[in-house]
Amino acid sequence: MSVSPDPSTGLAVIHLFLRPTPLADRAEVLAALDRAKDRETQVVTVAMLGHKADLAVMGLAADVWGLRALQTELVAAGLELVDSYLSITEVSEYAAGVPDEMKAARLYPQLPPDGKTAWCFYPMSKRRGDEHNWFTTPFDRRKELMYEHGSSGRKFAGRLVQLITGSTGLDDYEWGVTLFAQHLDDLKEVVYTMRFDEASAVFAEFGPFYTGMVAPADETLTAIGLG
Ligand code: 76R
């Protein structure tokens, strides 16, 4: 195998959105997921709601070829890949001063969190318009805005786990946002609340939203008709 272009720190994260074809084979899908776990890839399976996809598989790994193998084996098992997103874990430049423990949790998250089965994913960027341009805004001002953002996020402590992964140069938006909560309305409330924070109200641009329920792989496959 060629030298792997693994992230120098943290994990690569692939969100795969899939749909069973008539050739889909439940045992092969389960075997592909088990093999990924054997390669130390963290795998989260989600039964999706709505037409965008039936199944989401999140893979997190230090080893990028391992993520490629996961994708290859799921497609070989008869799943059609209808969308995807690639990003990597990161410590935000505005969180440089946080304790090492918190940095480690951002770079090496343990997923999925217990009891939080309401799941959504969306990609987002910060605006680069003539009037409002995040990237021409001075660092200290951006830091203030992110501080406001963090304070508003902390009001959801215990109700929500967020994974913000960087994708500038890797995929179409600048970040992937993956949220885990107990109830669907927790997802709605946090996103709605943040819309009023200046960092989101003035600067955020959002891609499509994907929503579903986190469940063990066998339960997820049964739910999407791959019994
Ligand atoms: O890492 C930290 O917890 C430190 C504070 C913090 C940073 C630096 C933080 C806290 N976030 C940070 C960075 Mn966040 N976050 C989002 C979204 O829908 C929207 O409007 C935005 C999507 C949510 C829901 C969310 C939740 N955050 C970022 C960045 C990177 C910016 C950069 O580096 O330029 C983005 C794009 C982003 C977006 N954030 C929190 C939350 C929550 C709930 C918290 C509080 C976490 C806690 O302290 O428990």
Q: Which domains, ranges and CATH numbers included, belong to the chain?
A: 12-89 (3.30.70.1030), 93-212 (3.30.70.1030)
In the prediction, which pLDDT does 2 show? 79
Ligand 1 site, residue 94, Cβ cutoff 6 A = yes
Peptide bond into 99 cis (omega under 30): no
CA distances from 3 to 6, 64, 89, 90 (A): 9, 10, 21, 22
CA distances from 136 to 22, 128, 130, 140, 201 (A): 50, 8, 10, 12, 17
Looking at the annotation, which residues are catalytic?
122
In the prediction, which pLDDT does 3 show? 86
Cα 33 to averaged position of ligand 1 atoms, centre (Å): 29
Q: Which two three-digit tokens encode residue 57?
A: 């598989």
Q: How many residues are there in the chain?
A: 227
Cα 150 to averaged position of ligand 1 atoms, centre (Å): 6
Rg (CA), the chain: 18
Pair 149, 94: CB distance under 8 Å: no
Ligand 1 site, residue 146, Cβ cutoff 6 A = yes
In the prediction, which pLDDT does 1 show? 67
Alpha-carbon distance of 142 to 136, in angstroms, equals 10
107, 140, 146: which to mutate for ligand 1, most atoms within 8 A of CB?
146
Cα 115 to averaged position of ligand 1 atoms, centre (Å): 21
> pLDDT tens per residue, the chain (227 residues)?
678 899 999 999 999 999 999 999 999 999 999 999 999 999 999 999 999 999 999 999 999 999 999 999 999 999 999 999 999 999 999 999 999 999 999 999 999 999 999 999 999 999 999 999 999 999 999 999 999 999 999 999 999 999 999 999 999 999 999 999 999 999 999 999 999 999 999 999 999 999 999 999 999 999 999 99
Cα 125 to averaged position of ligand 1 atoms, centre (Å): 13
Alpha-carbon distance of 176 to 168, in angstroms, equals 10
85, 89, 92, 196: which to mutate for ligand 1, most atoms within 8 A of CB?
92
In the prediction, which pLDDT does 70 show? 98
